[in-house]
């Protein structure tokens, strides 16, 4: 059989059609499905990104914790190793060996030990400073709260027990020796104090007490005066004087 490939004339103007291909209806891409796929992929990427970020934060915290623990371990090991070297040198029983061992310890662990010791000292100072600031703040706030509570308790006690109000007046008049005294009270306190039997014994001698109802005063206010003096003995005034004193000595800044 001849191996010579004979010439075959192929008309390129009318090529053979092997197969005509038309896409089936099911092969047409549904844009809505594509959009759903894209949205699902977007949500998946967002969720994955969130998980990756949370994992990164957790890894960072874990790394920081392990680094801190490793630093503490290094400091402890350095300290232990330093002590061991010095003890071994000391056990040799002669000065040269001891000095040599101590120098080796200093060279190997001295810088590391000093670095961590410096960091520890700095952190300790910061904690002490912060603790002092916090205690000072709590002390001032406690004083403010104590003044506020005291004022509320005293006002309530005066409303329930007029005798407490009279005792406050008597305390203000301990060193007063006059014939006539005027006391201005709030309308609420006037009704309670005026109902008491004898008020003349509140001042020394045979003085007379005149009660005056003052609608401008609040419960607990008390202004005592005569021709020779004037005393503001009210609860609010006394507490305000305490506040002012605490401000002057720098115990509190604002009450």
* 22: Cα within 13 Å, side-chain hemisphere: 2
Is residue 203 within 8 A of residue 178, CB to CB? The reply is yes
**Residue 184 in this model has a pLDDT that exceeds 90:** yes
Domain ranges of the chain: 29-160, 162-248
Assign 213 to helix, strand or coil.
strand
Pick the CATH number of 162-248 from 3.30.2320.30, 3.30.750.200, 2.40.40.20, 3.30.70.1170: 3.30.2320.30
Chain position carrying tokens 């200093």: 106
183: nearest Cα among 174, 193, 175:
193
Please write the tens of the pLDDT for every residue from 113-163: 778 888 888 999 999 989 888 888 888 788 777 777 877 777 777 777 777
Please provide the average confidence, as pLDDT, over all residues in the chain. 74
Assigned token pair, 123: 């952190």
**Residue 18 in this model has a pLDDT that exceeds 60:** no
Assigned token pair, 47: 């969720």
* 167: Cα within 13 Å, side-chain hemisphere: 7
pLDDT at residue 4 in the model: 47
DSSP-derived pairing of the beta strands 222-225 and 230-232: antiparallel
**Residue 100 in this model has a pLDDT that exceeds 60:** yes
What is the pTM assigned to this prediction? 0.42
Assign 182 to helix, strand or coil.
strand
Please write the tens of the pLDDT for every residue from 189-215: 888 888 775 666 666 656 688 889 999
Burial class, 193, CB count within 10 angstroms (exposed 0-12 / middle 13-18 / buried 19+) = buried
**Residue 255 in this model has a pLDDT that exceeds 80:** no
Please write the tens of the pLDDT for every residue from 20-49: 445 454 444 567 777 777 778 777 777 776
Burial call 196-227: b when 16+ CB within 10 Å, e when fewer? eeebeebbeeebebeeeebeebebbbbbbebe
Q: Binning pLDDT at 50, 70 and 90, where does residue 78 land?
A: low
Burial class, 185, CB count within 10 angstroms (exposed 0-12 / middle 13-18 / buried 19+) = buried
Assigned token pair, 24: 């089936």
């Amino acid at each position: 059989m001849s191996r010579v490939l004979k010439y075959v004339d192929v008309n390129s103007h009318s090529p053979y059609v092997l197969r005509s291909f038309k896409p089936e209806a099911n092969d047409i891409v549904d844009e809505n499905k594509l959009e759903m796929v894209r949205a699902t992929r977007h949500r998946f990427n967002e969720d994955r990104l969130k998980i990756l970020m949370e994992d990164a934060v957790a890894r960072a915290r874990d790394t920081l914790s392990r680094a801190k623990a490793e630093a503490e371990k290094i400091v402890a090991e350095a300290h232990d190793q330093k002590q061991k070297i010095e003890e071994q040198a000391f056990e040799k029983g002669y000065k040269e060996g001891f000095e040599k061992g101590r120098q080796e310890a200093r060279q190997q662990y001295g810088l590391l030990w000093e670095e961590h010791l410096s960091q520890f000292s700095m952190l300790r100072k910061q904690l002490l400073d912060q603790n002092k600031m916090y205690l000072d703040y709590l002390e001032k706030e406690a004083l403010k709260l104590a003044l506020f509570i005291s004022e509320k308790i005293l006002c309530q006690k005066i409303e329930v027990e007029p005798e407490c109000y009279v005792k406050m007046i008597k305390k203000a008049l301990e060193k007063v020796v006059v014939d006539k005294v005027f006391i201005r009270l709030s309308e609420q306190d006037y009704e309670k104090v005026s109902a008491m039997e004898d008020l003349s014994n509140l001042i020394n001698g045979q003085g007379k007490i005149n009660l005056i109802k003052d609608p401008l005063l609040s419960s607990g206010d008390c202004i005592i005066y005569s021709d020779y003096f004037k005393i503001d003995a009210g609860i609010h005034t006394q507490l305000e004087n305490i506040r002012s004193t605490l401000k002057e000595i720098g115990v509190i800044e604002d009450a």
